[in-house]
Copies of this chain bind each other. A is one copy, B any other.
Amino acid sequence: MDMMSRVQRALDQQLALAHSPSAPPRLIAALRHAVFPGGARIRPQLCLAVAQACGEDAPELTDAAAVAIELLHCASLVHDDMPCFDDADTRRGQPTVHKLHGEPLALLCGDGLIVMAFQALARAGAHHPQRLAGLIATVCTGTGAPDGIVAGQAWECEPRASLSRYQRAKTGALFVASTCAGAQAAGADPSAWRALGECLGEAYQVADDIRDVMLGSDELGKPAGQDAQHHRPSAAADLGLVGAVDYFRGLMQQAVDAIPDCPSRTAMRHLVWQESERLMPQSTCDRIHREYPQHRPAAVVAPRGALA
């Protein structure tokens, strides 16, 4: 089974556990809408790939780690889309959860997905007790305070913040959790896989910043121009489009170089280049160089958060 199918199947099985005659049907529908059909599932696939590279020996625990990370990602999207943050009407080409089910259920849906992530880990971890505490700690570090995605989002509410700290927490932290949890699910040392997660997380954020400037809402499947509208820091604003594209390519090279020695190192490198091409095709990079050579860094003046 390819990795995408494996991720979808594991998510589907986890969601099914919330179905019960005793469950409020609209909450269950909101949970499903937040998770399916889903996006590229890059984080859980990364988790699976690292576990396989580490000689995966507990596939149900890998699945749980991948599921937990994707559910936490989906939870953050549901809450980020809400009116008090992005107030976005669409996500992945569909209405956002609060647009379809209302704000109260969107709020609860995010909470429910966070809890479900740990439910998945506990269920599979019961058979691998020696790996469970480390896995949960890794996932929590990527998600909560002081340095996880919740903290990253919270930097938008501060009067001043460091751009790199903001991006590391908002996007990087869950990529680091993805690679490290993949290793831990296979009983391997996570520290060797940290740098790969860091590089990919930053590259992903830079690609997102570029797309937010370049593409229209239809192509994005969500509102475009959000970074400028919400005065959020952005690599495209900071470095200009050409600078951001070059920075992105450099980060992907660093990601490739960060893959530790392992039997499937060549396959992992191929996967990273493939992901690079998916995120920001070479043809798009060339087009940006050709068509936007004058795109200059913009001064970001943020009323909600001045990020230095």
* Cα distance, A123 to B137, chains bound together (Å): 7
Residue in contact with A122 in the complex, picked from B18, B119, B136, B151, CB distance below 8 Å: B136
* A1 CA / B134 CA spacing, docked (Å): 31
Contact A22 B146, beta carbon cutoff 8 Å: yes
Instruction: Name which residue of chain B comes closest to A133, CB basis.
Output: B126
Task: Specify which chain B residues have a CB less than 8 angstroms from the CB of A103 in the assembled complex.
Answer: 84
Digit string of A135-176 for contact with B (CB within 8 Å is 1, else 0)?
A: 011011001111110110111111001000100010000000
C-alpha spacing A133/B111, complex, angstroms: 20
Chain A interface helix/strand/loop/mixed: helix
User: Do B147 and A118 have beta carbons less than 8 Å apart?
Assistant: no
On whether the beta carbons of A144 and B119 are closer than 8 Å, the reply is yes
Do the beta carbons of B20 and A147 come within 8 Å of each other? yes
- Pairwise interchain contact B24-A161, C-beta atoms closer than 8 A: yes
- Expressed in whole angstroms, the Cα–Cα distance for A108 and B24 within the complex equals 24
Contact A151 B85 (CB under 8 A): no
A110 an interface residue at 8 Å Cβ cutoff? yes
Assess whether A20 is in contact with B154, with CB atoms less than 8 Å apart: no
> CA separation between A110 and B114, bound complex, in Å?
11
**What bracket does the count of chain A residues touching chain B fall in?**
35 or more
Given the known A-B contacts A122-B137, A125-B133, are A111 and B20 also in contact in the complex, defined by CB atoms under 8 Å?
no
A116 within 8 A of B: yes
Report the bound CA distance from A79 to B84 in whole Å: 13
Chain B residue contacts of A126, Cβ below 8 A: 133-134, 137
The closest CB in chain B to the CB of A138 belongs to: B122
Closest to A102 in B: B157
Answer whether residue A82 sits at the interface, using C-beta atoms and an 8 A cutoff: yes
In the complex the two chains form, is A24's CB within 8 Å of B151's CB? yes
The answer to the question of A121 belonging to the interface, with a C-beta cut-off of 8 Å to chain B, is: yes
If A132-B125, A140-B119, A146-B20 touch, does A111 touch B151 (CB 8 Å cutoff)?
no
Q: Say whether A31 contacts B145, CB under 8 Å.
A: yes
**Smallest CB–CB gap between A281 and chain B, Å?**
34
Residues of B with C-beta under 8 A to A154: 24, 26-27, 104-105, 108, 112
Residues of A that sit less than 8 Å from B by CB: 18-20, 22-28, 31, 75-76, 79, 82, 84-85, 101-105, 107-108, 110-112, 114-116, 118-119, 121-123, 125-126, 129-130, 132-134, 136-137, 139-140, 143-148, 150-151, 153-158, 161, 165, 169
Question: Can you give 9 contacting A-B residue pairs, CB < 8 Å?
Answer: A24-B154, A25-B158, A26-B158, A27-B150, A114-B115, A125-B136, A126-B133, A129-B133, A132-B133
User: Given known contacts A79-B111, A84-B103, A122-B140, what 18 new A-B pairs fall within 8 Å (CB)?
Assistant: A20-B147, A22-B165, A24-B158, A76-B111, A79-B108, A84-B102, A84-B107, A107-B107, A108-B150, A112-B145, A114-B114, A115-B150, A119-B137, A119-B144, A121-B136, A122-B133, A125-B132, A125-B136
